[in-house]
Chain A
Amino acid sequence: MLELRLVQGSLLKKVIEAIKDLVTDANFDCSATGLSLQAMDSSHVALVALLLRSEGFEHYRCDRNISMGMNLNNMSKMLKCAGNDDIITIKGDDGGDTITFMFESPNQDKISDFEMKLMDIDSEHLGIPEAEYHAIVKMPSSEFSRICKDLSSIGDTVVISVTKEGVKFTTRGDIGTANIVCRQNKTIDKPDEATIIEMNEPVSLTFALRYLNSFTKATSLSESVTISLSSDLPVVIEYKIADMGYIRFYLAPKIEDDEEDIKS
């Protein structure tokens, strides 16, 4: 038996919109802690980890650890039918092969039930250890989104380097090169608009912009984004979901090939 009531239903809509282009099918795992998801894109280069803690729900009932395989595109179709102010309740019965989304309008004059078929998804769950990162950059999410979009019109990959001076985004393409440096900036009144750089060691890594652009679909979930970099780990791009949890995107860096390949 499962019943999760989320007053701010638009949150769930945004979460699904943020990941549905990266991942087609995924298992949602439900436990006493909350509703979580971990999935990789089809080429296993990027990974998304989502957590919506139970405390963030108005009502949360989950008797045992269960997983529900869903097609995110279909889920998106159903959630699009919910109004932005609607309260969304997710309901499922033990042994059932469907899940129900109930949408209630704010003044309770309209109640809709959408029942979606579940699917069997055989996916690997990866263990992600807690790690110390060489550098952690916090910046306005809209700024990060803009940078990724702008750079992708010039090149395919971006080099993100963090030094004492700030964080630098570099790309190179057929038409030329681009360089964007963001400096530390804590002076602004609103903490969400600040750029804060914590650096233990300088770090520089290369990533495919295509994936970063896909991650920035989560921009509407949070005013700020945190980018954690280590030279021997995938980058983590985290959007906090207010009072509830987070959505984290992991992306494996591009690896430098042997000398021969560089020549060619």
Chain B
Amino acid sequence: MGIKGLTKLLADYAPKAMKEQKFESYFGRKIAIDASMSIYQFLIVVGRTGTEMLTNEAGEVTSHLQGMFSRTIRLLDAGIKPVYVFDGQPPDLKKQELAKRYIRRDDATKDLATAVEEGNKEEIEKFSKRTVKVTKQHNEDCKRLLRLMGVPVIEAPCEAEAQCAALCKSDKVYAVASEDMDSLTFGAPKFLRHLMDPSSKKIPVMEFEVGKVLLELGFTMDQFIDLCILCGCDYCDSIKGIGGQTALKLIRQHGSIENVLENLSKDRYHIPENWPYQEARQLFKDPLVNLETPELKWTAPDEEGLVAFLVNENGFNHDRVVKATEKIKAAKDKGSQGRMESFFKPMINTSEPLKRKDAAAKATKVPQTKKSKTGAKKK
């Protein structure tokens, strides 16, 4: 899933591109969320003990609804305006990857059966998580739930991450939230991780800016895409023996995959035959997205509809659903509160910290003081 090892690579080589932010600071912001990824996580995590999962009376799994309902309310409660984007048809290139996942799931199912026979609890949990698959029904359930909650839903023509990135590029949303680093490769200007994590985990939101990533690495967007392909993406194999570090070095040295291939020792590295890196690059650069999305609107929740769907059909607690609906209504009122940044623009602070962070911080301070001088003059 996503780009292999990119988070670590960026933490090492572009630390300024990532910033920890408080969940609350996204108040009033419109955020596009990769729904399929979230549903997958809910199915793995929410209400699971061993192979047992949350179900309704008919025995159908409801973990995804539970997760989607409570996490979305948490976002709304914090004044965030979420837009959920669902996957469309997977691109042809991804079919290979999907087939691999299918085999892995198949293996896991077999392993699970053995584990159940042996009664090994740890193994049961491990393998049953691996057998999770997001079905069409899960997606449809969540779409229905979100519409009842008054939250906009967008169906991507192809990859949801690509559609999210396009929404962000065209300023329809402030940022993209996903756990998949692909979003950066698709060029989402602002990308958030851990936004959907439960509050109990207390993980701060990690904000990535693609502009800063490029600046820090000294890359163009094309070079960054090539780097991601070399690291290993969903659309084609990577070259055996080349990981993040080597990939970064190679692109820095040669500038593009074409030049890398020319200079790469054929004895040391085995380049896959008919390697479709160009197609993968094309997919990242110019993905199939819908630019004519309707205006995003957050409407009042349909209380009766929610009760009918969640309580009557899926066995949720009535009081909880009613209470949660009240929360959604209250949150709508919060949405009309303006933010400071809509009135005042950020500027460079002219002071240096008294506390010295470390030697590296010291070195970068030189240009900062220069800025402070010019800043002072302007005053």
A and B physically associate: yes
CA gap between A70 and B335 in the complex, in Å: 31
Partner of A64, one of B28, B299, B338, B352: B352
Q: Which stretch in B18-26, B88-96, B228-236 binds the other chain?
A: B18-26
Q: CB distance B346 to A127 under 8 Å?
A: yes
* Nearest CB on B from A38, distance (A): 9
A159 within 8 A of B: no
Q: CB distance B27 to A96 under 8 Å?
A: no
Chain A positions 19 through 31: 1 when the CB is less than 8 Å from some CB of chain B, otherwise 0? 0000000010111
Nearest chain-B residue to A98 (Cβ)? B355
Most chain-A Cβ atoms within 10 A of its Cβ — which of B24, B299, B351? B351
Q: CB distance A65 to B350 under 8 Å?
A: yes
Partner of B349, one of A45, A67, A97: A67
Main SS at interface, chain A: loop
Q: CB distance B338 to A126 under 8 Å?
A: no
Q: CB distance B340 to A47 under 8 Å?
A: yes
A120 within 8 A of B: yes
* Nearest CB on A from B80, distance (A): 10
Q: Given A43-B25, A92-B354, A118-B355, are A125 and B348 also a contact pair (CB < 8 Å)?
A: yes
B347 within 8 A of A: yes
A239-264 residues with Cβ-Cβ distance < 8 A to B are 250, 252-258, 260-261, 264
A98-125 residues with Cβ-Cβ distance < 8 A to B are 99, 118-120, 122, 124-125
CA gap between A140 and B235 in the complex, in Å: 67
Partner of A126, one of B300, B332, B345, B354: B345
Q: CB distance B354 to A2 under 8 Å?
A: yes
Partner of B354, one of A31, A46, A67, A258: A67
CA gap between A94 and B340 in the complex, in Å: 33
B contact residues around A77 at 8 Å (CB)? none
A229 within 8 A of B: no
B274 within 8 A of A: no
Chain B positions 1 through 40: 1 when the CB is less than 8 Å from some CB of chain A, otherwise 0? 0000000000000000001101011011000000000000
A7 within 8 A of B: no
CA gap between A208 and B25 in the complex, in Å: 17
**Which range holds the interface residue count of chain B?**
35 or more
B contact residues around A264 at 8 Å (CB)? 299-300, 332
B contact residues around A47 at 8 Å (CB)? 340, 344
Q: CB distance A68 to B355 under 8 Å?
A: yes
A136 within 8 A of B: no
Q: CB distance B300 to A99 under 8 Å?
A: no
Q: CB distance A44 to B25 under 8 Å?
A: yes
Q: A66-B351, A95-B355 are in contact. List 6 more A-B contacts (CB 8 A).
A: A42-B27, A66-B352, A68-B354, A122-B20, A127-B347, A261-B299
Interface set of B (CB-CB < 8 Å, partner A) = 19-20, 22, 24-25, 27-28, 78-79, 297, 299-300, 332-333, 335-357, 372
7 nearest CB pairs, A to B: A264-B300, A43-B27, A252-B338, A127-B347, A67-B351, A42-B24, A126-B344
Contact sample, A vs B, 18 pairs, CB 8 Å cutoff: A27-B351, A43-B28, A46-B340, A47-B344, A65-B351, A67-B354, A68-B353, A68-B355, A95-B354, A95-B356, A120-B355, A125-B346, A156-B333, A250-B340, A250-B344, A255-B337, A255-B338, A260-B297
